[in-house]
Structure formats: C-alpha cells, structure tokens
Amino acid sequence: MSDECLKVAVRVRPLISSEVDRGCQNCIRVIAGEPQIQLTGTDKAFTYNFVFNSDVEQDNVYDKAVKNMMHNIFKGYNVTILAYGQTGSGKTYSMGTNNSSTIDSSSGIIPRAVQDIFSTISDRSADNWTYKVTVGFIELYNEQLYDLLAGKSRKDSIVDIREDNNGIKIIGLTEQEVNSAEQVLKCLMAGSQGRATGATAMNSQSSRSHAIFTLTIFQQKNNDSNSATTSKFHLVDLAGSERHKKTQATGDRFKEGISINKGLLALGNVISNLGENAAHIGYRDSKLTRLLQDSLGGNSITLMIACVSPADYNMEETLSTLRYADRAKKIKNKPIVNQDPKAAEINRLNALVKELKLSLIEKGDSGINCPPEHLELVEKNKVLNKNLREISEQLRSNLIEFVGVHERAELAETSREKLGEEINKLLVDIEAAISEPNIEKVYVMLKNIQEKIIAIQDYQKKSDAEIKHQISLEKNPNENEKEDEGEGFCCSDSINSTLNESSLDEEHTEHTLLQAARNKEVTNINRQLALKEELVAKLLSNSSQFVDHAKELQDMENEIKVLQAEKEQLMKNLEEFQTNNASAKIAETRRKKVKELEKKITELTKKCVEQSRILKTKEKAVQQVKNLTQEIQQMKQMRVKLVRDMRKEAEKFQQYKALREREVHKLKDQDRKRKNQMERLQVLHNKQQNVMKRKMEEAYAMNKKLKETLALQKKIRGSREDKGKKSKEYIEKFVNHEVAVIEEIIAAQNALDMQLKYREKIAQDLQQLKATARENPSDYLARQINDLEEYLDLCTAKVNKLQQEIVASEQETMVKTRMEGIHTIGEAKQVSHQLFETIERICKQHRVEASERQEKYDELTNALDEALTKLRKIELTPSVSLKEHQRVLEELNSYKKMIQSEKGVRISNSKSKPVARKTISAVSNFKDMLVGYLDKENCETDESFNDDINKDPDWVKTPLAKPRNSRRLRSSEEEKSLKRSMEETIESKCQCKTKCQNYYCRCYKGGIMCSEECGCNLTKCENRNNKQTTKYFEEEPAELAGQAKKMRTQ
C-alpha cells in the first residue's frame, strides 16, 4: 500500500451538569453536512475527515469512522485507533475501555470492533482459513510500563521496551489467547480494573495513565503456508492533558498530571514534526512516543479521534486539541502487509509466473520452438568456447613456463654479475701481489686470494642449487594441476548443470590476458636492457682509451713546465748578456732557442687543450655510463617485480581454480543457502530502498527549505542594507509595545477567570432561586430569576468577548512572530537591554504602589481595631440602643469591604499573611454575631407581631432565610470562635532573643511588626519599624505586580 495520510475524527461531547451549573455556554459550532468545526465568535475553523456533534450516538461514530478500517486487518495491515484530548473530554467513553462485557448502545469503539473482528473470523473460517487471536493490555503510568493482564502485583507487573530490526518489542508482556468477543471483553474489564484512576476538580474518574489494548491476529489459509499474515489492532486511550488551576490536583495527582503532560508534550512535538516533514523526529523523548512510533508515521493505518469539550470554560484547551488534530492530518504512514519475507517472495514469484503464463496464452506463442539455425549456432558456440578454453589453458601453461625461464635467467644473470665482480677483485689482488717485492706479504695476499676463490666456488654451487630448485618447483605445479584437473573432471559430469563455467572462463581469460601483457612487458624490458648494456659496454671500452690520454696530458703538462722554466732561465741569461754587452752571437743563439722553446710550448699547450677536451668528453661518458647503469638496475628490478607478480598471480589463480573445482560438489547446498540469503538481502534491499526514498524526500524537502531560507536571508539582508541599523527609539517602542500586549493578555486572562467565577456564582444563585420558585412560586422570585438570567447572559457575553480576544492574540505563535523582527545579535542585545530597563521600571512602579497600599492597609487595620474596641464596649453595655448597634455594624461592613479590596493586593496567596486572614475572619465573625444579636433584639421587640406562617398567605421563604436562621443558631459558636481567634492573635507574638529577621520569629513569619506585647529584646529587634513591610514587598514584586494588574482590571 502506498503512503496513506492519518485520518482524523473530532467528537464533541455534551455539556455536563457541573458546566451547566457554572453557566458555561457552547463555544463550538459544527457545520451541518460538512466535516468542519468552528469556534463560536471567532474565525477559527478546521476541516477533518469526520466531525461528530454532541448528539451523535456511539454506533454512528463507529459505523462512519472505524468500521471501514476493519477489513484492512484481514489484509495483513496494522490498524491503530488513537483517542486524544484534554481530561474529561470523553476519550475513555468513546473508546469503551471501561465498558462491561455486554454490548449495548453506550458501548464504545473497542467492544464494537472486537465484535466485528470475531464475526468476520467466523465467516472466513468456513472458507478454509485458520485464525489465532491474542490480546495484550499495557498501561503507561508515570513513565513506567505495567502489564495489566499479568495477574500479579503492581510491582511485579512492570515490563520494559526493547527495539530491534523488526520494531518495538515489549519484553515479558502477557498475551492471552482468546476465541470469542466475550473473552476479549473480559480481559478488557480485568485490565481496566487495574488501571490508575483518580478524582480531580474536572473529572471524578480521571484516567491517570495511558492505556494500549492490542489484538494480534494471525491468519493462514489451510494447506497454504505462504498465505500467513500477522496483523495488530492497537486501541489507544490516552490520559487527558491537564491544567493545574482547573484540576486543582495536589500530591500524587499533581505528579501524575506532570507525567501525563510531559508525555503528551512529546507526542505533540512528534505530531508537529511529522506534519512539517522535519528531518529529526523525537520518538525517543518519551516512552509514549516510542510505543506509538509505528502508529504515527510508520507501519499502520491510523485513525485519531480528538475529543473536545464544548464549554467556553475549556475554550483554550479545545483550540489546542483542534490544532494538534489539524497537524496530525498531514502525517503520512507507510503501511505494509505483515507477512513472512520468504512467503512474500514466493507469492510474488508465483504471481509473476501466472502473469507470464497468461501473457503467453494471450499471445498464442506457447508452442513455438527455436529454429534449427539457432541450435547450430549454439553448438558451434559451444565448440568454439571449448577450443578457446583449451587454447587459453595452453597459453597459461606456456606463460607459467616462460615465468620459470625468466626466473632462472634472472638467477643466472645475478650469479654471473656477482662472479664477475669477485673475479675483477681477484685480478686486482693478483696484480698487487705480482708487484709486491716482499715475499711474506705476497704469501699473505695469495692466502686471501685462495679464500676468495673458495667463496666464489661456494656461491656458484649455491646458485646452481637455486636454479635446480626453481626447475623442480616449475614441474610440481603442473603435476598438481593435472591431479586437480583429474579430480575436477571426474565429478564434472554429475554437477555440470550447477557449475558456472562461463564465469570461470571469463576469469581464466582475464588472468591469461593479464599474464600475457606482463610477459610482453618483460620482453620489452629485456630488449631495452640488451640495448643499454651494449651501449654501456661501448662506453666502457672507450673510457679505457681515455686513461692513456690522461697520462699523455700529464706528461705534456710536466714538459710545458720544464720548457717554461728553461725559457725563463734563457730570458734571464739574455738580459744579463745585454747588460754586460756580451757577444751578439751568443745572444742571437739564445734568442733562437727561446723562440724554439716558445713554439714548442705553444704546441704543447694546444695538445693540452685537446687532451682536456677529450677528458671532459670522458667525464660525460662516465656520467652517461653511470646513468645507464642506474636505469639498467631499475629495469632489472622492474623485471624481477613483474616476474614475481606473474609467479604470484599464476600461483594464486592456480589455487583459486583448484579451490573452485574442489568446491563444486558443495554447490547444491550452497544454492539453497544462497536462496535464503537472497531473500533476506531482498528484504533488506527493500527496506534500504524505502529508507533511501524517505531520505531522498527529506533531502529534497531540506533542499527546498534551504533555498527558501537563503532567499529569505537574501531578502532580509537587502532590506537590512536599505533600512540600516534600527534605532534605539524603534527598539524601545517595540519592547514597550510587546510588554503592553503581554500585560493586556494577562489582564484579559485574569478578567476571564474572574468573570467565570462570577458567572458560576450567578448560576448557583439562579439554581437556588429556581428551586425555591418551584416550591413557592411568586412574582418577586420570577423577577429576581429574570434579573439573574440577564446578568448571566451579560456575563456570558463578557466571557465570550474576552475569549475571542485571547484566541485572537495567537499566543502559541506570538513568540515566533516577536522574534521575526530581530535579525542580528546587536538588535537582540538592544532588545534585551531595553527589556531589562522596562522590567526594572515596572518593578519600581509596583513597589511604590504596594507601599501605598500597605500604608492604606495599616490605616484600615487601625480603624478596624478601633471598631472592635467599640464593639467590645457595646457587648459589655447592654443598655446601648439599637441604633448604636446598627451604626457599629455599618462601620464594620465598610471596613470589611475596604480590607477585602486591599486583600487582593496585600495578601498575594493563601500562605503569605495568616495574621491578616485571622483579622478579616474576626471581622466576619463579629459582623455575623452582631447580626444575630440584632435579629434577637428584633425578635424580642416585635413579639406582638409574630404570626403563624401557615396562616399567612403572603409569606414567602426567600433564599436568605435559611442562612439567616443558621447564623442565629451559630451565634454562640461564633462567639467562642471569636475569643479563640483573639487569643491566637495575642499568643502568636514572638519571644525571640535575636534580631527578629528570620522565619523563626512569629511576627516576621506572619508579616507583621513586633509590638509592645512581644517578648523580644528591644535593643536587638529590627522588626519594630516599617523595614519588614518593605522587605516583604521587595521579595514578591512580580506577584504584587500581577495583583495590581488584577485590581486595575477589576
């Protein structure tokens, strides 16, 4: 099956009684006749595969969304039904995880699907199909897997996840075999009783874990093992996402909520990454995503049922669920038939054979035989191949012999060169011995010459032995080859059908051609060596003549020196004769002799120049001989290397050929193994091909994304170059605007929470009035009910407006859109700097406001103390008039209202100021006691006006009657409570011995200043001024800022 998109169904549950009591309204509108859903009052609309309104029954949901998927199970595909949504949205009800073993109209998807599966099995069993069904039930609780069908204790039911080439495995999971739908539902009920559930403020039976119920269905047609398939039907019931402020969970419930949200966050990230075709999918971020790895983007046909609440109280969670479901709609799974690879390959080949047979029958060519010309060509080709094989074998044998000849020639030549060098050395030693006059030295030299001659003889014997050994080695491989050929040919008749002769012939031919090429190269080297050695011999013979020329040159140079000296002497004598006026005849004789000497010197000089030129030619010849000698040496080394390579290749090929011929009898067994290996490799190849296809798609997507990013970067760079660096004023304006937007969103959320609480209070009062009106109807109550209904509608309109503003703010994408305007590190630094300055300014402003409210709170507290003092005096003075009582009561009411208005700012949470709470509680107790006292006075004063209520037709019991009577009954208890609260206030004073600046001090811990009633040391106490007040507000600037914002919203 090709890639298939994940299908998504959205189901809207009805409003529950608690939501109706709160006055919640429906915020979802389902478009009639279209699978589309819209949030009321917004432009948010989504389209899915299926959409079910709150009035749709269970059977309709199953028939439209699930039933058409069930036939895929019997085709061999995996199927997954996944329920997703917030807590209390109806996931467990829709899935039917907690249904009984009987099926009725309220049964969910699981019982109905199981019923259909066994109904189909019953029908197909009559068609010679065999089935085996097993069930497994696991629970993921606090990132720990539990086997719900293990029948063991909770601790012993823990299982773990493992992963192999076939996918995710759960080690130690209990799989019970079942034969009917009733047995499956019993297993479902037994496992559901072990699931972790708990009560929260949103759901009295909230699932505290994720559950996966799996049916494994093995099917096989009788007498056909290749038709076996194994399918898995996963039914997933996820725990709902939670918000702590709504669930009000504490302790273990709170920890469970954290674990649930963590797993759902990882699941949401996986859905987002799969929808966006991300390169990396974080399946390993959570055990939940690892369990659902095949269901999301893997080998499964998946349906996701997104359950949502229609109450506007849950509008944000509903919108988040709809968005995730919309992203999941883009996920593409890759389902395949779960079949044994060997059986699948056999089925594929059988289908291919059938197709080919059908095509032959359609063409009518099934009886055509090959023409006789073709058979003749085949026979001729066989004969030629045989001849070619024989010729190649003969050529290979000749080449092997040629290699042996080369090796022997190389050994002989090496030996000859060595012997020549040693003989030359002997000749030199013999000449030296002949020219030596000392007899003793001659004797020693002759002794050395004798030893060298013996060494030369030993070396010659060793060389002869090596040559003989080489000849023997050349004979043995041929014999072995004949033996191997005999062994191979003796069994060739029996295994001729399995021997791949063409492959061996090709290798044989390739080896022979390679050896022939090397042989040709060796022949060329030998030819070049012969030419160069001949050239070296000529040069050496010429150089022997150059030795005589050098001697003549030396003699002539010596003669020139003698003649030059004689000439100088004659010239000197001639000068002396001229000086002494000697005879002219002697002078003339000497001049002639000088001229003769000069002429002779000139001739000798010319001869010296000619001899020098000859010597230079000799040096060049010597250098040329040296170069040629090096080249000859290199060529010999190359020849030796080539010969050795030829020998190695020949031996290697001979061993290879012998090995191939010995292993012929094993080919039948290997053929079977190769077939199995081929099947495994084919499966691996298919997997690799799928992986490569997926990687190519990812690479294409990444390339496309990279091009878009580069284009965007180029565009941004151009715009940045045009606009230049952003100014500080722009950054300041940007930060202030974003901070203002955040403050407005927080204010809207706080206002929404207050409006929801106010609406809940109005709805409760309205329910009480309606209950009273049903018992005693009257026009007054009807008017009150109408007024409250109007207030309720007005409050609902405000709630809708605030929700529309919050939804329109797009908080999920706000961070991304904020960062789009920041392109460089410099701009980010400017934004960070401006943001810190803005936060500092807001904190200072909030501290100032908190300080002012603290002063006002202190003033109101003092006024309350005075009012309490007056109240005590009134209690102690029974003669005080009723008007005085009423006046004090009004004062208390006014003070209580002012303190309550300041309470939202001064007392930020339930743990911060216990003394202030006690004070306010005391005021409430005093007020209630005073009201009871006034009621008592009124009763005593107006006894004459008491009538029988049964006889008074106009008497109506109002909603305030019951609490008023209860206050009268509780007046004595509240007096005791008041005394206890006052005593606790007095006893809560500190008795510190230190500075009263830590939480061991009762006053410091309670957030009040030490007074005269405290027993602390006056010289050490630092909690007697307004220091602690300032410190308290400095510790909680952000919280006070939020409370101040809430006050401004109010």
- How buried is 706 (Cβ within 10 angstroms: 0-12 exposed, 13-18 middle, 19+ buried)? exposed
**For residue 169, what are the β-bridge partners?**
162
Nearest-5° angle of CA 143, CA 147, CA 151? 140
* Spacing of C-alpha 234 from chain mean position: 25
DSSP 900-920: HHHHHHH--STTT-HHHHHHH
CB-facing half-sphere around the CA of 552: CA atoms within 13 A: 16
- The string of pLDDT tens digits covering residues 342-378 is 666 777 777 777 777 777 766 554 445 567 777 788 8
pLDDT of residue 113 exceeding 80, the answer is: yes
Structure tokens at 493: 């008749």
* Spacing of C-alpha 587 from chain mean position: 118
Residue 817: band (very low, low, confident or very high) from pLDDT cuts 50, 70, 90? low
Residue 908: band (very low, low, confident or very high) from pLDDT cuts 50, 70, 90? very low
CA dihedral 568, 571, 576, 581 (to 10 degrees): 170
Question: Hey, how many other C-beta atoms are within 10 angstroms of the C-beta on 237?
Answer: 28
Structure tokens at 565: 């000296």
Q: Which of 678, 826, 630, 814 is nearest to 348 (CA)?
A: 678
- How buried is 1030 (Cβ within 10 angstroms: 0-12 exposed, 13-18 middle, 19+ buried)? middle
Residue 823: band (very low, low, confident or very high) from pLDDT cuts 50, 70, 90? low
> What's the rounded Cα separation, in Å, for the pair 275 and 8?
13
Residue 197: band (very low, low, confident or very high) from pLDDT cuts 50, 70, 90? low
DSSP 160-204: EEEEETTEEEEET---EEE-SHHHHHHHHHHHHHTS-EE--SS-T
**b (16+ CB within 10 A) / e for 962-998:** eeeeebbeebeebbebbeebeeebeebbbebeeebbe
> What's the rounded Cα separation, in Å, for the pair 1004 and 1035?
13
Q: Check whether 80 is labelled as a binding-site residue.
A: no
> What's the rounded Cα separation, in Å, for the pair 49 and 676?
44
> What's the rounded Cα separation, in Å, for the pair 243 and 247?
6
Q: Which of 1034, 1044, 749 is nearest to 902 (CA)?
A: 1044
- The string of pLDDT tens digits covering residues 720-761 is 555 545 566 777 777 777 777 777 777 777 777 787 777 778
Q: Check whether 87 is labelled as a binding-site residue.
A: yes
pLDDT of residue 208 exceeding 90, the answer is: no
Q: Check whether 295 is labelled as a binding-site residue.
A: no
Three-class SS of residue 134? strand
- The string of pLDDT tens digits covering residues 407-455 is 777 777 777 777 777 777 777 777 777 777 777 777 777 777 777 777 7
CA-to-CA separations, 180 to 121, 215, 314, 719, in angstroms, rounded: 10, 12, 41, 70
* Spacing of C-alpha 828 from chain mean position: 29
Beta pairing class for 36-39 and 301-308: unpaired
* Cβ(187)–Cβ(178) below 8 Å: yes
> What's the rounded Cα separation, in Å, for the pair 240 and 314?
13
Mean pLDDT confidence for 778-783? 79
Measured in degrees and rounded to the nearest 5, phi and psi for residue 213 equal: -105, 120
> What's the rounded Cα separation, in Å, for the pair 191 and 184?
11
CA-to-CA separations, 499 to 608, 662, 676, in angstroms, rounded: 82, 11, 20
**b (16+ CB within 10 A) / e for 10-23:** bbbbebbebbeebb
Identity of the residue numbered 113: A
Radius of gyration of the chain (CA): 56
Q: What is the pLDDT of residue 969?
A: 41
Q: Check whether 86 is labelled as a binding-site residue.
A: yes
Identity of the residue numbered 729: E
> What's the rounded Cα separation, in Å, for the pair 462 and 453?
14
Measured in degrees and rounded to the nearest 5, phi and psi for residue 865 equal: -60, -40
pLDDT of residue 24 exceeding 70, the answer is: yes
Map tokens 């190849």 to a residue.
685
* Spacing of C-alpha 752 from chain mean position: 39
- Tell me the range of 638-642, 805-809, 922-926 where mean pLDDT is highest: 638-642
Q: Check whether 85 is labelled as a binding-site residue.
A: yes
Q: Check whether 88 is labelled as a binding-site residue.
A: yes
Residue 883: band (very low, low, confident or very high) from pLDDT cuts 50, 70, 90? low
Q: List the single range of 270-274, 476-480, 800-804 with lowest mean pLDDT.
A: 476-480
Question: Hey, how many other C-beta atoms are within 10 angstroms of the C-beta on 461?
Answer: 10
- The string of pLDDT tens digits covering residues 1004-1027 is 655 567 776 687 877 778 777 533
Q: Which of 401, 402, 385, 404 is nearest to 508 (CA)?
A: 385
Question: Hey, how many other C-beta atoms are within 10 angstroms of the C-beta on 528?
Answer: 14
- Tell me the range of 14-28, 276-290, 550-564 where mean pLDDT is highest: 14-28
Q: Check whether 554 is labelled as a binding-site residue.
A: no
Q: Check whether 803 is labelled as a binding-site residue.
A: no
The interaxial angle of helices 825-876 and 1027-1035, nearest 10 deg, is: 130
pLDDT of residue 811 exceeding 70, the answer is: no
Q: Is the Cα torsion angle 274, 280, 286, 291 positive or negative in sign?
A: positive
209: left (phi over 0), alpha (psi -120 to 50) or beta: beta
Residue 954: band (very low, low, confident or very high) from pLDDT cuts 50, 70, 90? very low
* Cβ(1007)–Cβ(996) below 8 Å: no
Q: Which of 477, 490, 475, 473 is nearest to 662 (CA)?
A: 490
Question: What is the largest distance, in Å, between two alpha-carbon atoms of the chain?
Answer: 201
Q: What is the pLDDT of residue 200?
A: 60
